[in-house]
Chains A and B, each alone.
Chain A
Amino acid sequence: MLSLIVFLPIIAGLIILAVPSSQKQIIRIVSLLAALAQGVLAVLIWRDYNPALPGITAGPGGSPLGSFQFVERLPWINLDLAGFGPLNIEYFLGVDGISVTMVILTALVSTIGVLSSWTIQKQVKGYFILYNLLASAMMGCFVALDFFLFYVFWEVMLLPMYFLIGIWGGPNREYAAIKFFLYTLFGSVFMLLVMIGLYFSVTDPVTGNHTFSLVAMATQSNFIKDSILGPNNVMWRYVSFIVLFIGFAIKVPMFPFHTWLPDAHVEAPTPISVILAGVLLKLGTYGMIRINFPIFPEVFQAGMYVIGIFGAINIIYGALCALAQQDLKKMVAYSSISHMGYVLLGLSAGNSEGMVGALYQMFNHGTITAMLFLLVGVIYDRAHTRQIDKFGGLASYMPHYAAFVTVAWFASLGLPGLSGFISEALVFVGAFSSVTTRYIAMVSVLGIVFGAAYLLWSLQRMFLGQRKPDAAYDLIADEDGHEHIHFHDWKGKIDLDGRELAMLVPLLIITVVLGVYPMPVLGMLTSSINKLVEVLSPVVLSQL
């Protein structure tokens, strides 16, 4: 099941390879079918997932499978290394509460992304092949439980993303694409070294061989005491934690590694922005939760408040930057930085409330930001500009669009009743109740105020009041004296069309439903998070 959900897009990509490039519609439909099939599988996984099983570490009695679900475990590569012994790499997939929500999110956002890609006209075939490769790699990252496999998926994402920004992006795309590539690669090469170090330090309790299994690594008793990253080698464990953390923090992106994100977003086409903000950023925090924290729990305990401080910087700095932007898309990009800060803050609290909040925030940010970028794309398609000052009074002429924007903007600023509120509230509850992060949380609350400021201000400038003299559209009065809006070179429907509604409505429903009744997601998370908190708690650590 997991293999299928991972490799469906690649299969679609191979089919597309055989389709002549003039058959654009077939290419799009094949991609859409693959994405929809992924969605169906995600729903099946959601239905059959047993929320009582925690996952995270090895199961009772050191079971190497842990209590992961939908596990697929096959030997992949078995080598005999001269002078070292066997090298075993497994094809090991499985989900627990942390990854299952992300799997569902990825399937959802991938589907939305395909729909949003419908308007791509340039080199459609190449676009969808790369898109499907990217979709497979993202999904693979969330379900891989073998570090080697995870790393392969992680790196496979880079090249498609480079081309998707670089070929289909805006005017400054070359710079944005290579910047994205270099930043992420810089982060991930260190991960490679830590991965090798961990391999030398961890043995599988059943076979006695060294292993790349993340499940085995998350169980401290599997470490060899005096190995390079063993418990006795405190310094290298700290160094490894830090370089791994930086590798993931670049993806989040955490201040001061965030500068690639606004560039990438501004240049990327709308669907790629949606994928980037909706899924890729989550991989950073997911990596921290899956790899950094359980493998180096004592370093996490020591560094909680540092993570919290960086989270607070992200929240406030991101919001202040967003406040200063003229470009709507850049504003949304900075709001992403700000919102990912809440995730970091929640994680740094180290308690169940904070961590559940963080993961819930990851899910909600995925859906809400996807909506925000789609809405930015809608107006950019029509007006060919995203300058906030080039609009004004849009609400009278595009009422549906205005309604969606309003709801999405309010979800983003955390209005009660919408999903963003619950996750942010949980994050703050967690951060306040932890002694280490209490004061950090107090400062971070400012971020909500700034967040409300930039969102409401942009809403006001674009949708309320009158048309500005230098606006990006004209108003044409018909015989009855009603004024109609007119965009240059836009022949489609002025307000939202069917395809745009098909993308936005599901996201909107999810945002509202999860804002009122969050249990479908929270229920899956809780037992895993409790287990994680237990693994990370100082009491358990002191017994090691």
Chain B
Amino acid sequence: MFELPTGAEIQSIIASLEVSVGCFIPEIYLSLLFMLLIVVDLVAKGRKNSLLAISTLVGLAGSFFFIYQQQCLPGGEFFFGMYVLDEFALFFKYFFVLSGIFAVILTMADEQFEAEVKSMGEYYALIVSMVIGMVMMASSADLIMIFLSMELVSFSAYILTGYFKRNPRSSEAALKYLVYGAVSSGLMVYGFSLIYGLTGETNLIKIGAVLAAQGNEHSLVLMLSSLLIIAGFGYKIGAVPFHFWSPDVYEGAPTPVTAYLSVASKAAGVALLMRFFSIAIPHAPSAQTGIDWVMILLALSVGSMIYGNVVALWQKNVKRMLAYSSIAHAGYLLLGIIVMGKFGTQATLFYLLSYFLMNFGAFYVVILIANKTGSEHLDDYRGLGKKMPLAAAALTVFLVSLVGLPPTLGFIGKLMIFSALLDKGSLYLWLALIGIMTSVISLYYYMLIPLNMYLRESSQSDGKEMNPGIFAQVLMAVLMFLTLYFGLFFTPLSDISKYGSAMFGITLH
């Protein structure tokens, strides 16, 4: 039987909760925003959808203020070790809120919503709830918390994916996403249970300490649990062999959701992966098998880079092609995690920033083009270089950046990752080789889009220019400019990612 706590103990629990709540304000704010949006939807029923979108935008932007306030708080654990506040978490808080904002902007630009659904209802609230979930994923320091926050993200994502209820592809995508998600969550929880069985702890830092003290005693079990947990995280990242959901989901989901999933959800998985393996599981080859989690990640990374880039070669649907490309980019992100250490973390965060800009940019243009042509098929991109000159130029820049050619941001991202690899001497040289070889392959399919836009003439050549609107033009131009500007002057982004590379309770470095 549990013993009732004494009065003094209750007092101290309350005191520590009070302190903890002080470090939890952005999350509370976002939760209030979530509820507010539901209320606004009810009150403003039947009026213009833009009210909801604008309030989401303003609300999300408002959270920057509370996150900014946290920057001066001392980092550390709170809520009894469930949750941490450190630079790493702050980096991702900004990242996820910003990607939420972009998801809203993309949704506002997408005309498909008007055709497919009557009311935007809970759509924006779900975007916010996904932001909350991802913010918590990046800050969790406890197995229970990790699971809860991951499920929050997943459930919001399932609904968002199937938001076009009357569109069979969208529903199919949501169902596939749900089934794969359930399986991988199950595997992950099994992995967690093994870890708990080994250590008797759920807090990551304590797990790390216990496992370090145990040495190599249970390395086989540890190996198995690492594998199971990577199945869960790998599903979020979309890395081979846990990628099967992603092409269908990316193609079927509303395009803004696709962009949101491909950037934010992936980044959340990366954040978890980095925190979990840097803190909890020691990096040492096990006695029985001679391999550890780094080896598993190595295999995942190589598989993702090769599979994603090679299969993308045959894709005719641009969204599906970008889905395979995002599998490949998961592989590049994993390279940075494999390196570990501060340099590797910084490189990974930098790559995430560059991926954010170029992927949201690319999807934004895809949406604008789909608004005008009603299609995402490669053949319907013919002649767009003349019809939508700015959109075509912007998309070309984003794609060149995704290939990783200078003078774009994507090149610097790759440079950082490969530098981190080579910093380890010749140990990971072969990994870097695979990385660059596959990026040469990627050039071919990315260039298919400019090829159709510029080199081929449209079959119905009315030659009229299509204007996506002044706001869209400006936003595209700004994103394109940033991709180029940060490709030449990348110090600010590097400083931000260096700031974010500090993790609480880290013992590796």
A interface list, Cβ under 8 A from B: 77-84, 87, 123, 151-152, 155-156, 158-159, 162-163, 166-167, 173-174, 177-178, 181-182, 185-186, 189-190, 192-193, 196-197, 199-200, 228, 233, 236
Contact = CB atoms under 8 A, between A and B. Distances in A.
Nearest to B346: A82
Contacts of B509: 83
Given A156-B407, A182-B444, A193 B422 contact: yes
Most chain B beta carbons < 10 A, residue from A151, A193, A199? A193
B418 A193 contact: yes
A182 B443 contact: yes
Contacts of B443: 181-182, 185
Given A174-B455, A193-B418, A82 B498 contact: yes
A122 to B, nearest CB: 11
B426 interface: yes
Given A80-B495, A152-B407, A167-B455, A228 B425 contact: yes
Given A77-B491, A196-B415, A236-B426, A155 B406 contact: yes
B406 A189 contact: no
B437 interface: yes
A78 B454 contact: no
Given A155-B406, A156-B407, A173 B440 contact: no
Interface stretch (B140-148, B216-224, B337-345): B337-345
A130 to B, nearest CB: 10
**Closest CB pairs A-B (n = 9):** A83-B342, A82-B342, A189-B436, A152-B406, A83-B343, A82-B346, A166-B455, A79-B494, A155-B406
Contact of A196 (B422, B426, B444): B422
A185 B341 CA distance: 31
A231 to B, nearest CB: 15
Given A186-B440, A236-B426, A82 B343 contact: yes
Nearest to B386: A123
Interface residues of B, number: 44
B451 interface: yes
B432 interface: yes
Given A167-B455, A197-B422, A192 B436 contact: yes
A174 B382 CA distance: 13
Contacts of A186: 440
Contact of A185 (B422, B429, B440, B489): B440
B407 A78 contact: no
B424 to A, nearest CB: 9
A179 to B, nearest CB: 10
Interface in B419-460: 419, 422-423, 425-426, 429, 432-433, 436-437, 439-440, 443-444, 447, 450-451, 454-456
Interface in B388-428: 396, 400, 405-407, 411, 414-415, 418-419, 422-423, 425-426
B94 interface: no
28 contacts: A77-B489, A79-B494, A80-B494, A80-B498, A82-B342, A82-B501, A83-B343, A84-B343, A87-B419, A152-B488, A155-B405, A155-B407, A155-B411, A156-B406, A156-B407, A162-B447, A173-B455, A182-B440, A182-B444, A190-B436, A192-B415, A192-B436, A193-B429, A193-B432, A196-B418, A200-B422, A228-B422, A233-B426
A84 B454 CA distance: 43
B155 interface: no
B422 to A, nearest CB: 5
A530 B342 CA distance: 46
A79 B420 CA distance: 14
Contact of A166 (B342, B414, B454): B454
A178 B447 contact: yes
Contacts of B343: 81-84
B405 A158 contact: yes
Nearest to A189: B436
Contacts of B407: 152, 155-156
B455 A83 contact: no
Interface in B455-509: 455-456, 488-491, 494-495, 498, 501, 509
B388 to A, nearest CB: 14
Given A174-B451, A192-B436, A81 B422 contact: no
Given A77-B489, A80-B498, A151-B406, A167 B418 contact: no
B447 A81 contact: no
Most chain B beta carbons < 10 A, residue from A82, A185, A192? A82
Contacts of A162: 447
Contacts of A155: 405-407, 411
A17 to B, nearest CB: 10
A181 B423 contact: no
A265 to B, nearest CB: 18
A269 to B, nearest CB: 14
A80 B455 CA distance: 42
A133 to B, nearest CB: 11
A192 B455 CA distance: 29
A159 B454 CA distance: 13
Given A152-B407, A192-B436, 9 more contacts: A155-B407, A156-B407, A159-B405, A185-B443, A189-B437, A192-B415, A193-B422, A200-B423, A228-B425
A370 to B, nearest CB: 26
Nearest to B498: A82
A268 to B, nearest CB: 14
Nearest to B422: A196
Contacts of B456: 174
A236 B400 CA distance: 30
Most chain B beta carbons < 10 A, residue from A156, A158, A196? A196
A177 B455 contact: yes
A373 to B, nearest CB: 22
A178 B491 contact: no
A489 B509 CA distance: 74
Nearest to A174: B455
A140 B509 CA distance: 41
Contacts of B406: 151-152, 155-156
B454 A167 contact: yes
A192 B405 contact: no
Contact of B454 (A81, A163, A193, A228): A163
B454 A181 contact: no
Contact of B490 (A77, A185, A193, A197): A77
A151 B487 CA distance: 13
A80 to B, nearest CB: 6
Interface in B335-367: 341-343, 345-346
Interface in B243-273: none
A174 B343 CA distance: 41
Nearest to B493: A79
A158 B407 CA distance: 11
A152 B415 CA distance: 12
A200 B415 CA distance: 13
Nearest to A195: B415
A162 B403 CA distance: 15
A151 B405 CA distance: 10
A185 B436 CA distance: 10
A174 B447 CA distance: 11
Contacts of A152: 406-407, 488
B498 A178 contact: no
Contacts of A181: 443, 447
Nearest to A81: B343
A164 to B, nearest CB: 11
A177 B456 CA distance: 13
A181 B489 CA distance: 26
Contacts of B414: 192
A159 B341 CA distance: 35
Interface in B54-81: none
B451 A192 contact: no
B444 A193 contact: no
Contacts of B422: 193, 196-197, 200, 228
Contact of A178 (B429, B444, B488): B444
A176 to B, nearest CB: 11
A365 B389 CA distance: 38
Nearest to B454: A167
